[in-house]
Structure 1
C-alpha cells in the first residue's frame, strides 16, 4: 500500500507544550506532543469528512547550520488566566509559566485512510489531502495561522524544510520519563482518554523524538 507522507518546518521565538503534571505553574515539554503536532499540520490542511487524517510520526529539534547548542532554552513567562473560573469582577489573574525560547522543529507525518473502506481508483482521500497540504505549504496558505502551542506564540517561519539553513540538533539527548501522547482515544471524534509514552518511548535521542 502506498504511504502518503508529509513534513514541515516550524520555528518561532517562544513555544509552550504544557506538561499536565506541572499543575498551576505550567512547564513546557521540549517537543510538541502528538496532539500538538497534529494540530500544527491541520492548521494548514485537513478533510472535514475525516476520510483521511494526519498521523504525526516523529519530530526533530533543529538549529541553524553551524551553530553549536547542547541545551534547550527555557524562560519564565507571565500569562493572564482565561479559563472557565475567570472572574471579571475580581480583576485579571496572572500566573507564571516556564516556556521555551528560540525553537525550531521539523515535523513528519503519515496520512491515514480514515474512511474504513478500501480505496478505489479515482477516489483516494489520502492522496487528496497530501496534495492539498503540499500545495498550501508551498504557497504559504493555511486554514488558520500555525502557532507553537499557545495562540499568542505565532510561528516566525512555517513551510518546507530549509535544507542548508537548519539541521537536526544531534547534541540533544533527554529522558522525559513520561510524555502525553494523545488526549482522546481516537484520532477522529474520540472520547477523552489521555495516553502517555513512558520508558524507552519517552526519550529524545540525537535531537529526535518518535511518537509511539
Structure 2
C-alpha cells in the first residue's frame, strides 16, 4: 500500500461548519472529505459494469503550510437548480418548460420569486496544504492496485485531473502538484483543538449505490475530534472507533 502526497493551494477556500446552519463559516483548515475530493479529481477507479467506485482515498495526514487567515464575503447563492428529471420532461414536451429566474419579482412572473439569496461567508484566503493519502480497494486485487497507484502517480505528476479540484466550494479552484520523495519543508507553527470536525458525508465502507440517476448516493455524516499539533492534523482511518458515524 503506497501513500502519495500532494501540495494543494488556492486563493480562497470555505469548508463549512455544519453547526452554523444558514451562514457559511469555514473550519480553520481543510476537512478530510474535501481532501479526499481532490484525490478523487485526479484519479478514481470505477467498475465498468456497475459504474460504482472500486476504491476510495483514505486521507492520512493534513499539514498546514500557510498561516490561517479569514476573509468575510457576501455571496449570491441560487435557491433552486434544474433537475435531470425536469430537463428530460422538457425535452419530451417543450410546452412544460418553466424557467428559473435569478432576479424575478412577483410582478414580472405572477408567482413567488425563486431566484437567488445573499449569504454571509467567512472563508479562508491564501491557503496551502500538504495532503497525504493512500488508496483503499473495496476488494483487494493485486492486479488492480498497481494500476491505480501508477495511474494516479502519472496523472498527478503531469498535473492532470478529471475535473478541476476545488476547496470546499466549486468557485474556489484548487491547484496541486505531486510532492516527490525527499522533498522537505516544515508546516507552519500552528496548533488548535478544533473539536468535532466533519470527516465525510458518505459511507466509505462500501461502494456508492445511486438511489436515482439524478440524486446519487444517500448521505451518511461522520465526525471525529480534530486537533492540529504544530501544523499537522493526523486523520484516523474511516473504520476507526475515533470516527463517529450517523445513520444514512
Over 3 Å counting, the alpha-carbon distance change for 1:173 and 1:133 in structure 2 is: same
What's the CA shift for 1:183?
1.3
| Structure 1 counterpart of 2:244 | none
Q: Given the alignment, which residue of 34, 39, 44 partners 1:41?
A: 39
Equivalences for residues 122-133 of structure 1 within 5 A: 123=143, 125-133=144-152
Over 3 Å counting, the alpha-carbon distance change for 1:83 and 1:58 in structure 2 is: farther
Q: Given the alignment, which residue of 53, 56, 62 partners 1:53?
A: 56
The whole-number CA distance in structure 2 between the counterparts of 1:4 and 1:76 is 39
Alignment pair present for 1:20 and 2:18: yes
Secondary structure of the residue aligned to 1:21 is helix
Alignment TM-score, normalising by the size of structure 2: 0.71
| Structure 2 counterpart of 1:173 | 191
In structure 2, runs of 5+ residues without a counterpart are 48-52, 82-99, 105-112, 209-216, 237-248
What's the CA shift for 1:77?
1.1
Q: Deviations over 1:44-86 (max 9, x none)?
A: 11102233331111110003xxxxxxx5100101111124388
| Structure 2 counterpart of 1:82 | 78
Paired positions, count: 192
The whole-number CA distance in structure 1 between the counterparts of 2:76 and 2:62 is 30
Q: Given the alignment, which residue of 113, 116, 126 partners 1:102?
A: 126
The whole-number CA distance in structure 2 between the counterparts of 1:35 and 1:175 is 19
Alignment pair present for 1:208 and 2:208: no
CA contact (8 A) 1:6 1:111 kept: no
Over 3 Å counting, the alpha-carbon distance change for 1:83 and 1:134 in structure 2 is: farther
The whole-number CA distance in structure 2 between the counterparts of 1:204 and 1:109 is 17
| Structure 1 counterpart of 2:85 | none
What's the CA shift for 1:111?
1.0
Over 3 Å counting, the alpha-carbon distance change for 1:102 and 1:48 in structure 2 is: same
Alignment pair present for 1:158 and 2:176: yes
| Structure 2 counterpart of 1:139 | 158
Q: Deviations over 1:132-170 (max 9, x none)?
A: 111011111110011111111112x31122846x5311x
Q: Tell me how large the CA RMSD over aligned residues is.
A: 2.1
Secondary structure of the residue aligned to 1:132 is helix
Alignment TM-score, normalising by the size of structure 1: 0.82
In structure 1, runs of 5+ residues without a counterpart are 64-70
The whole-number CA distance in structure 1 between the counterparts of 2:150 and 2:19 is 38
Over 3 Å counting, the alpha-carbon distance change for 1:106 and 1:128 in structure 2 is: same
CA contact (8 A) 2:6 2:176 kept: yes
